[in-house]
Amino acid sequence: MTGENPVLVVRDLHKHFAGGSRLRGGRHTVRAVDGVDLTIAPGEVLGLVGESGSGKSTVGRCIARLETPTSGTVELLGRDVSRISRREMRPVRRDVHVVFQDPYSSLNPRMTVGQIVGEPLRQHGEGERRDRTRRVGEMLERVGLREQMRTRYPHELSGGQRQRVALARALVLGPRLLVADEPVSALDVSVQASILNLFLDLQRDLGFSCLFITHDLSVVEFISDRIAVMYLGRIVETARRETLFADPQHPYTQALLSAAPVPDPADVRRRERIVLSGDLPSPSDPPSGCRFHTRCPVAIDRCATDNPPLTGVTAPDHPVACHLVTAESGRPRVAAP
């Protein structure tokens, strides 16, 4: 973190949805996000990682105000945008853009590449037509697309090219924050690498901050400055990338990392895999106390009743939500080292 004011501050964010049907046994509340705190510094990439269903995409959608939070605040560049109207949100949209997992469904099939990338400039009344045309050309070049692509339609492009167009559209206004929701997981592995390298080049050149949402640990390790681990609607651990990979403290983080692929076969033999029992519980009926207690290999009685706060007891910049992480004992040993 730099000494500058953060670009994004999220406090005690909750997003609950109504689920079920009256005809099939009644309504219930789905607690997709249930008390999330996050901060992103200028130029920082925060990776948000967790299993499918952990609520990480909902966090991203609340930050970009594609969803209105149930409670809590989302401060973007010092302004609380969590409950402002659509009209008030319009100028804020210059500063926050989203890149989705599937560029095919997020690009208008009736618009050409030039129209798609130029659309945010037009919507925000940026410059004359000639100026907008020039800026679209510059942005296409930055994302590695030839000028001739300008007249193509999304269905004429490959998956990687479509994601380059989505990146160009998201960055053409020079936003301060990009929310990237699984932006490479729908692509072939070879294409993923080129898009991730492009993303890092753009991020270094343009200096935007980013919330990078993914379930893929190798992607989050490659891309992030800091990483937040999410489990069933809550953040359970946050740390700088190198710290998290060298010293994961929460039992869930330890289990996640133990299952991640490693390039060196000798490392696989040295490492003990932690297999979690059961599936992720339903966010409509989350476990009491620590939400991980139904799958945690080292749970104690207290875990079923008391919700552990996310605090930096071992280091202020490495908060962990676990009763067993203490200043004296350090991290709980879930598996033999």
131 to 170, contacts with ligand SF4 by CB under 6 A?
Answer: none
Question: In sequence order, what are the residues at sequence separation of 6 or more whose Cβ sits closer than 8 angstroms to the Cβ of residue 218?
Answer: 260, 261
Subset of 244-273 contacting ligand SF4 (CB under 6 A): 250-251
One residue of 292, 310, 319, 331 binding ligand SF4 per CB under 6 A: 292
Smallest distance, ligand SF4 to C-beta of residue 316, A: 19
Q: For ligand SF4, give the closer residue by CB, 132 or 323.
A: 323
> d(Cα 59, Cα 32) in Å, to the nearest integer?
9
Q: How far is the CB of 232 from ligand SF4 (least distance, A)?
A: 11
**Segments in the chain forming alpha helices (H):** 56-63, 86-92, 103-106, 113-123, 129-142, 159-171, 189-206, 217-223, 241-246, 251-258, 265-270
The span of 120-128, 171-179, 258-266, 286-294 binding ligand SF4 (CB under 6 A) equals: 286-294
Least separation in angstroms between CB 94 and ligand SF4: 41
Q: How far apart are CA 147 and CA 168, in angstroms?
A: 13
The one segment of 26-34, 105-113, 133-141, 288-296 that binds ligand SF4 by CB under 6 A: 288-296
Of 208 and 292, CB closest to ligand SF4: 292
For 278, residues 6+ apart whose C-beta sits below 8 A from its C-beta are: 294, 295
C-beta of 167 vs 229, nearer to ligand SF4: 229
Report the alpha-carbon distance of residue 167 to residue 331 in Å, rounded. 39
By CB under 6 A, what part of segment 70-129 binds ligand SF4?
A: none
Cα separation, 271 vs 94, in Å, equals 46
All residues at 6 or more sequence positions from 185 whose CB lies less than 8 Å from its CB, including other chains:
101, 192, 214, 215, 216, 219
If the CB atoms of residues 113 and 290 are measured against ligand SF4, the closer one turns out to be 290
Nearer to ligand SF4, 199 or 252 (CB): 252
From residue 298 to residue 327, the character string flagging contacts with ligand SF4 as x (rule: CB under 6 A) and all else as - is xx---x----x-------------xxx---
Q: How far apart are CA 40 and CA 1, in angstroms?
A: 8
Q: Are strands 226-231 and 234-240 parallel, antiparallel or unpaired?
A: antiparallel
Instruction: Kindly state whether residue 290 participates in binding ligand SF4, applying the rule CB under 6 A.
Output: yes
Nearest distance, CB of residue 197 and ligand SF4, angstroms: 35
As measured in angstroms, the least distance from the Cβ of 334 to ligand SF4 is 9
Q: Rounded to an integer, what distance in angstroms lies between the CA atom of residue 247 and that of residue 241?
A: 10
In the stretch 209-248, what mask flags binding to ligand SF4 with x, by CB under 6 A? ----------------------------------------
Q: Which of 97, 293, 318, 331 binds ligand SF4 (CB under 6 A)?
A: 293
Instruction: Specify the stretch interacting with ligand SF4 by CB under 6 A; choose among 16-24, 153-161, 214-222, 293-301.
Output: 293-301
Identity of the amino acid at 143: V
Q: Whose CA is closest to 212, among 183, 169, 191, 173? A: 183
Which tokens belong to 12? 């005690």
> Residue 243 contacts by C-beta under 8 Å, 6 or more apart in sequence?
315, 317, 318
Cβ-based nearer residue to ligand SF4, 184 or 232: 232
Q: Which residues bind ligand SF4 (CB under 6 A)?
A: 250-251, 290, 292-293, 296, 298-299, 303, 308, 322-324, 332
